[in-house]
Amino acid sequence: MHRTKNDLGEKNREKVIATLNARLADAIDLKTQAKQAHWNVKGPHFIGLHELFDQVATAVEAHTDLIAERVTALGGTAMGTARVVARNSSLSEYPLEIIDGTAHVDALSTAMADFGKKVRKGIDDTDKLGDADTADLFTEVSREIDKLLWFVEAHIQA
């Protein structure tokens, strides 16, 4: 850990940083999963899904920056290389063989829902550690992921 005058106790900062880095790995993985869907979707709703999946990737990328910067603000090191993410992401592997729009919607919405669930747990965990700022950051991420999940799932709800 790096020295900081942040008044959150060191042991609590270490726990918060671990939570942030876990969600950072998941967020980077989720972004790449959205890009996988974006690049490979086919079918009658191609353009709408292609653009939506790119919107998801862009939004998640912005969240990765917020999460990583919070790690460093607390005196930690953001763990965001491709190799670290591949080792540490808790999300399921994205199915590479799919091309159909409905299959991509199902796969991406599953990953997004899993990520959202873990982010909401992060809200509670970091709040209990006395870090309202990180809990607030996770709340912001959660709100956006829930909205984007709604956009994605709307393509298979009728």
Question: Tokens for 98?
Answer: 């799919």
Over the stretch 128-158, which tens digit does the pLDDT of each residue have? 999 999 999 999 999 999 999 999 999 888 6
- What pLDDT is recorded for position 12? 95
pLDDT, one tens digit per residue, over 86-115 is 999 999 999 999 999 999 999 999 999 999
What's the confidence (pLDDT) of residue 44? 86
Domains and CATH numbers, the chain: 10-153 (1.20.1260.10)
Q: Give residue 51's Cα distance to chain centre.
A: 19
Distance, C-alpha 121 to centroid of its chain: 13
How many CB atoms sit inside 10 A of residue 39's CB? 11
Under 8 Å between Cβ of 25 and 43:
no
60 CB-near residues (< 8 Å, 6+ apart) = 27, 30, 31, 34, 145
The pTM score is: 0.96
Burial string for 113-126 (b: 16+ CB within 10 Å, else e) reads eebbebbbebbebb
Q: What pLDDT does 134 receive?
A: 98
